[in-house]
Structure formats: structure tokens, C-alpha cells
Amino acid sequence: MMYTCLSPSMLITVKVSSEQSVNFLEEMASSASPSATAAAVMAVLVAAAVCLHGAAAQLCEDYYADTCPDAYDIVKQVLIEAHESDTRIYASLLRLHFHDCFVQGCDGSLLLDSVPGMESEKDSRPNNGSARGFPVVDDVKAALEDACPGVVSCADILAIAAEISVELSGGPSWGVLLGRLDSKTSNFAASQNLPAPFDNLTTLQGKFSAVGLHDVDLVALSGGHTFGRVQCANVAFPPADRLYNFSGTGMPDPTLDSAYAAFLSQRCPRNGDRTSLNDLDPTTPDTFDNHYYTNIEMNRGFLISDQELKSSAEAQGTTAPIVDQFATSQEAFFASFAQSMINMGNIQPLTDPSQGEVRINCRKVN
């Protein structure tokens, strides 16, 4: 089998700026033969290409080219069929990948059910009662096991499903890097600290920075809220109350557009049903576009964490200009979102066979 993947031992460690690379080449050219100089040029170009491609460990786009060549199409077909009866499923699957990657890396740990001695991430506060789409992941896994048993990991299923879900909703496509293994453990404690809908900007930046992501990633990945649904608990109840008692003031959030606040108050009345669903984007609720940012520009972000990207004092000069750019240019948003999804997919990829496995059933270790 031949993969174009690079293992850690094959990577050339060249963490230099383009200017430093040029200086390095100039020095080589002055002291080496033409053939040696050419080799040095090629080494730097290869290293740069690896860095730009976002490869980490053994991740690469064609990881399953020989072992399960139809994997992408199989996942896509299952998702299309699921969407026929559940228009929310694409947004839900994107969220599963996000919640998986932010807890001990993109390793499928979110998919494990609780067993004695190990509490599932599914049961933590950020996931319990809101993370959904697990039966569809089971269906995808079953279809892949029929086609190529024991080959495609559950962690990679989440990565592929996220890309397909975005593309089928009108968003960008990107080359999904593959080759992750599945973890044998879940991390309930760490999942309690996922980015939350009531987090302020400083907290959000800290949580993203902790996994190697930065302001552009934060703003771009938050754009995943451009489709899907959200419960009233995240806008009308503490600690996320923006309608009735924002930050203990007894008043609505002052950054929330008054007309939108009145609309949401009808949808989520005081002491009403916490689980009632609302569109994250009231303009195009099932389409992946840049309306998330145009809504924020009009103070119509649904969540505290959404509006913080633009209205927080700390956002000025940091995240607010990025929101402005994405609101103006959907093309810029799509390009950044695709790159940020690749960046997120590279959070601590599990590729060591002594630490991970390809689960046969995504809900339990083999």
C-alpha cells in the first residue's frame, strides 16, 4: 500500500519564516555545489508544503485510497438519507466533530457510551440533552463496516461527516485529512470545559488558544452557527439569559437588538420550556452562508458567545475586524472556515496503534 502520508519521523522540522528560508538558501548557494543547492531548495519547499497543507503525524487526504476507496461516498449517501427525515442533522454532525476535537483531540472519544469506571463525554453538561446525531454515526459506521471491515475510524467518520454536512448545506468543501485512530477512553472532566454559549470573549480566546487555535479560528468556527437549532435554555435561562436578567441586571442584554429581543421573548417566554428550539440564523436557518456575521453586525447574534465576537470591548482590534470581513465577504469566510476546520482536525490526532484503535462499534472500545 502506498500513502502520501508523512509519519513524524519523515517530517522535516523547518519552523522558519519565508525570509529565513531565503537567507538559508542564499547561504547554501554561496558554499555548495549546484546539485546540493537544488537539493536544499527542494527540502525547504517540501517542508513548507507540508506545513501549509496542515499535515500532522500520518494524516493525509488519501489515507483510505487503497483500503476503503469509496469511504467518502458511503458516508455522503448515509447523510443524504438521514437528512430526508431530519433537516437539523448536518448542523448536528458538524457540532459533534467540534465537541470531539476540543476534548483530548479528534479521537472519537465523544462517541463512547458510559461504562462502569468511565463516564461518557455525552453525559457532561455541554453535551447532555443537546449533542445529537449519534444514531446517524452508527449508521455510517455500519455501512463502512459492510464495505471495508475494521478500516475507517470513528474519529475520521466525524471529520468526513462534518465536511460533507457543510458542503451539502451550501458551504465550502476542503480536503479532509484522515488517518486518525479512535481513543480507548472518554474524558468527562475535560468535556465540562468546552466553549460555552455564555462564555465571554476572553474565556473563548483562552479555550481556543489552549488547543492551538487563534482568533481567526475562533471567529471562523463560530460561523458554524449559521445553520442549525438552539434551545431556549441558551438565551432565556441563567447563565445564558439575554432576555430577562442579563448578568443579574434584571434587564435584557443591551447588545441585543430590541426587535430581535422581542421576537425571542415570544419564542422563549420567561419560565417557559427550556428545550424549545429556535433557528440560530433566522434568515437562512438551514443554509451554510455568511449571514451569521451579518446578523451579528445588526446585534442579532443569538448566543452571548456570538455577539461577544463583535460587541465586546475586547473584540475591538481583535475579533471584531474579522467579523466585519466575513460579513462583507462570504468568500473570505468560506476560505477561512475551511482552513480552520483543517486546523481543528489536527488537534492532537491519535495515530499511535499502541494508544488507539479502529473501533468496530463507535459506542464502545473493541
Residues designated as active site: 99
Is 109 annotated as a binding-site member?
Answer: yes
Is 14 annotated as a binding-site member?
Answer: no
Give the amino acid at 174.
Answer: W
How far separated are the first and last CA of the chain, in Å rounded?
25
Is 86 annotated as a binding-site member?
Answer: no
Give the amino acid at 144.
Answer: L
Is 87 annotated as a binding-site member?
Answer: no
Is 37 annotated as a binding-site member?
Answer: no
Is 165 annotated as a binding-site member?
Answer: no
The alpha carbon of residue 291 and the mean position of all alpha carbons in its chain are separated, in whole angstroms, by 18
Is 121 annotated as a binding-site member?
Answer: yes
Is 281 annotated as a binding-site member?
Answer: yes
Whole-angstrom CA distances from 220 to 160, 173, 288 are: 19, 14, 12
The alpha carbon of residue 140 and the mean position of all alpha carbons in its chain are separated, in whole angstroms, by 19
Rama region for 200: left / alpha / beta (φ>0; ψ in -120 to 50; rest): beta
Is 319 annotated as a binding-site member?
Answer: no
Is 107 annotated as a binding-site member?
Answer: yes
Is 163 annotated as a binding-site member?
Answer: no
Is 289 annotated as a binding-site member?
Answer: yes
Residues contributing to the annotated binding site: 100, 103, 105, 107, 109, 121, 195, 225-226, 281, 284, 289
The binding site for substrate comprises: 195
Annotated binding site for Ca(2+): 100, 103, 105, 107, 109, 121, 226, 281, 284, 289
